[in-house]
Structure 1
Amino acid sequence: MSDQPLFKVTIDNVTVEVPAGTTILQAARQAGPEVAPPAMCYYSKLEGSGGKCRTCLVEVSKGSEKDPRPMPKLVASCRTTVMDGMEVKNYTSERVLDARAGVVEFLLINHPLDCPICDQAGECHLQDLAYEHGKAGTRYEFQRRTFEKHTLGDKIQLHMTRCILCYRCVMVADQLTKKREHGVLDRGEHAEITSYLEKNLDNEFIGNVIDVCPVGALTDKTFRFKNRVWFLKPLNAHRDCEKCCGKVTLWNRGDEVFRVTARKDQWGEVEDWICNDCRFDKKKTSDWVIEGPREIARHSVISANKYIGLKKPTETIDEVIGKKPRLFMDINKVSGVNRKDIDLSLIEGPAHSIDFDKDK
């Protein structure tokens, strides 16, 4: 067992014990999705991520047992480590909700409202964030910032106008590939993700920048405008691959594979990185060993009409009456109208009520 001490931290009245050095965001995720703050730039599998988008701001109402004073300002939960006895407010704090609404408003100032034509629609983290914490209108009256579209090779399309500068794609290229050929150029409102002299991104793992992008800035060219994700059926599949783990999610409609992505956890983060061969070149069902349908969170539009593990109610009629129907009641014994001694086939013409008159 580890000798590392455990700290008790309470987040929205939920208490968990975590090792020293754990951030508030990591502790909140251990406590459960009900209290975990959203994150647009933090990615647990990327070193140095976080601290840029400010969507994970929380209020520390009690610093620790030794120093119970609250922190005067809201803090980024992805960058602030817990202390023993710390108490944190997330969804229970009006200050946090107000600040988060302001952050969402800033993120949407230059973001185009092209969700109806964006391939990320239905699985966009910014869409979810705007729905949960955004406001119906905007106060921005100036012209939005726009950029020219960049082609990053024959597999990846960059829409810089949609980018929120989370830096995830740059970190993926830094930490996952041998040579990074794109990054952030310029500063301030002119800052943009681009490659130097329009170079193509052709590293064998560079396709993972598509999976880590929280918005529709980096999209798969082989899937663009072909289908909507909520019409597709996600399936777990694997294959023997020399370059990566080979464990992916296939997005099928019928027997046709429209796209291949890495498997993601409940926080929208990749479980294992996959290579470009698995992502772009293996688009046949016969290329994969299908494991079964992938479970999708019920709040997601992708889960529409996909019922995994649904148990249909058992039919009880057969259990009650057996396979053959039985006569439960002889209606002729209780009815004052029916006469079973009368054969309708022997009555001349259509039958009338007088034909069944008992006094007749």
Structure 2
Amino acid sequence: MADEQQLFKVTIDNITVEVEPGTTILMAARKIGGDVTPPAMCFYSKLQGSGGKCRTCLVEVSKGSEKDPRPMPKLVASCRTTVMDGMEVKNITSAKVPEARAGVVEFLLLNHPLDCPICDQAGECHLQDLGYEHGKEGTRYEFSRRTFEKEDIGPYIQLHMTRCILCYRCTYVAAQLTDNRVHGVLDRGDHAEISTYISKAISNDFSGNMIDVCPVGALTDKTFRFKNRVWFTKPVSAHRNCDKCCGKVTIWNRGDEVLRVTARKDEWGEVESYDGKPGWICNTCRFDKKKMSDWTIEGPANINRHSVISTNHYVGAQKPAEFLPELMGGRNPKMLMDIHDVSDVNDPKVDLSLLPGPATGATFTKTKEQ
């Protein structure tokens, strides 16, 4: 009987954890969790070859190992650096890391437009969180930002290359999940961009997962564009029998309307795994099943309480008792006004999930005239 594999002890921010040899510092930190875990914009544990692009996960290695206790001379990317036995790492306890991370955020925002008010990714954007937690108030950049024309790369996906930070996640999805990768990184340097040689070429059955892995608003869902803000929707866990994928998803409702469908995500913003396999979903589940009757509802999705999406979505919360009838001698308060009778928007007869594109004023005006 072979001996059990020896585990390495690594100390991150004065917390020691045992991991298998070959584990990266980032994955070891995720085992600890909390603020000890460095942020990551390009690394995705479910995608082979990811990481090493954005440098947001830089950490300080103050002790290389028990055999060689010398510190590493520079900050290292924790997603690409494997642990050694006895290694000591500083993340939030380091004086160098915050300054370096703020510089990385400043670089990422050199060309990224500050169009959060009109971006569908607002509220669940990793770059927003990164900028808020590790960025600085101002920028030293004085030149014009790099811009690209909006590109239609498929029937369901809109590409805003101007927002792209070149994390390469979408190219890994296309290379590892689909039958044929038809897009990638074109050109080099400041002209580098994600694109296809043939417009509207991305149509394979798992291409929608590129939307889920994109950390910014560069790849957006055409069936959801400009229809709602994520914090106005209710995330619900649901499943269906699908012969192509796991069928386990998060549906985002507003009332009885299914506005969009996404893969379920864990605390790190990555797709959850089932039976040891990532829970990627097919385009049929994502784009075509937009009715409540298509799904078996499991219950409210678990959303981090620090996320703006969790607003008014507290699971197990006790609702305060209604006291107005008691004050009015048992009579129920009368409805003073039904806003739908006097407003030209939010017409209850309009099903937003069935509209082919964004809801505009013309949609509700036409309904009112009819």
Give the TM-score normalised by structure 1.
Answer: 0.86
Identity percentage of aligned residues: 79
1:1-40 equivalences in 2 (<5 Å): 3-40=4-41
The residue type equivalent to 1:178 in the other structure is D
Query: What SS does the aligned partner of 1:27 have?
Result: helix
Counterpart code for 1:115: C
> In angstroms, what is the RMSD of aligned CA positions?
1.3
User: Distance in 2 between the 1:230 and 1:311 partners?
Assistant: 21
- Match of 1:52, SS state, is coil
Say how many residue pairs are matched: 314
**Aligned-pair CA distance for 1:5:** 1.2
AA aligned opposite 1:269: E
- Following TM superposition, where does structure 1 have runs of at least 4 consecutive aligned residues deviating by more than 2 angstroms? 309-314
Q: In structure 2, what residue type is equivalent to 1:184?
A: V
1:305 aligns with 2:312: yes
Task: Output the CA distance in 2 between the equivalents of 1:17 and 1:255.
Answer: 47
1:281 aligns to what? 288
In structure 1, C-alpha distance between the alignment counterparts of 2:319 and 2:103, rounded to whole Å: 45
**SS of match in other structure, 1:16:** strand
Does structure 2 conserve the Cα–Cα contact (< 8 Å) formed by 1:297 and 1:303? Answer: yes
Q: Which amino acid aligns with 2:282?
A: C
Partner of 1:47: 48
- Supply the AA of the counterpart residue of 1:307: Y
Q: CA deviation at 1:199?
A: 3.9
Q: CA deviation at 1:3?
A: 2.2
Residue identity in the other structure for 1:296: I
Give distance in 2, aligned partners of 1:2 and 1:296. 41
Q: Contact 2:155–2:200 (CA<8 Å) still a contact in 1?
A: no
1:255-310 per-residue CA deviation (whole Å, 9 max, x = no partner) reads 00000000000000012100000000000000000000001101100001111123
Mapped contact 1:111–1:163 kept (Cα < 8 A)? yes
In the alignment, the residues of structure 1 paired with residue 200 and residue 187 of structure 2 have an alpha-carbon distance, to the nearest angstrom, of 17
Asked if the contact 1:97/1:133 (under 8 Å) is kept, the reply is yes
Alpha-carbon distance in structure 2 between the residues aligned to 1:199 and 1:150: 9
1:181–1:199 contact (8 Å) kept in structure 2 = no
Amino acid at match of 1:270: V
Q: Quick check: 2:236–2:300 contact (8 Å CA) kept in 1?
A: yes
**Which secondary structure does the structure 1 equivalent of 2:252 belong to?**
strand
| Residues 85-234 of structure 1 mapped to structure 2, 5 A cutoff | 85-234=86-235
**Is the Cα–Cα contact under 8 Å of residues 52 and 80 in structure 2 kept in the other structure?**
yes
Deviation at 1:197, TM superposition (A): 2.7
Distance 1:231 1:211 in 2: 19
Partners of 1:58 and 1:88 within 8 A in 2: yes
AA partner of residue 209 (structure 1): M
Q: 2:63 touches 2:71 (CA, 8 Å); kept in 1?
A: yes
Instruction: Classify the secondary structure of the residue corresponding to 1:197.
Output: coil
Over alpha carbons, which structure has the higher Rg? Answer: 1
Deviation at 1:33, TM superposition (A): 2.2
Between the aligned partners of 2:178 and 2:81, the Cα distance in structure 1 is 29
Specify every segment of 5 or more residues in structure 2 that has no aligned partner in the other structure, as ranges: 273-278, 322-370
Distance 1:5 1:310 in 2: 45
1:170/1:2 Cα in 2 relative to 1: closer, same or farther (>3 Å)? Answer: farther
| TM superposition shift of 1:198 | 1.7
Q: CA deviation at 1:4?
A: 1.8
**Residue matched to 1:318:** none
> Which stretch shows the higher mean deviation, 157-166 or 3-12?
3-12
Structure 2: distance between partners of 1:6 and 1:249:
36
Q: How far does the alpha carbon of each residue in 1:151-186 deviate from its partner, in whole angstroms, 9 at most, with x for none?
A: 012210000000000000000000000100100000
Aligned equivalent of 1:291: 298
Is 2:26–2:37's contact at 8 Å kept on the other side of the alignment? yes
Unpaired segments of 5 or more residues in structure 1?
Answer: 315-360
CA distance in structure 2 between the aligned counterparts of 1:36 and 1:66, rounded to whole angstroms? 25
Partner Cα distance (2:165, 2:242) in 1: 34
Partner of 1:103, secondary structure, is helix
In structure 2, the residue matched to 1:84 is 85
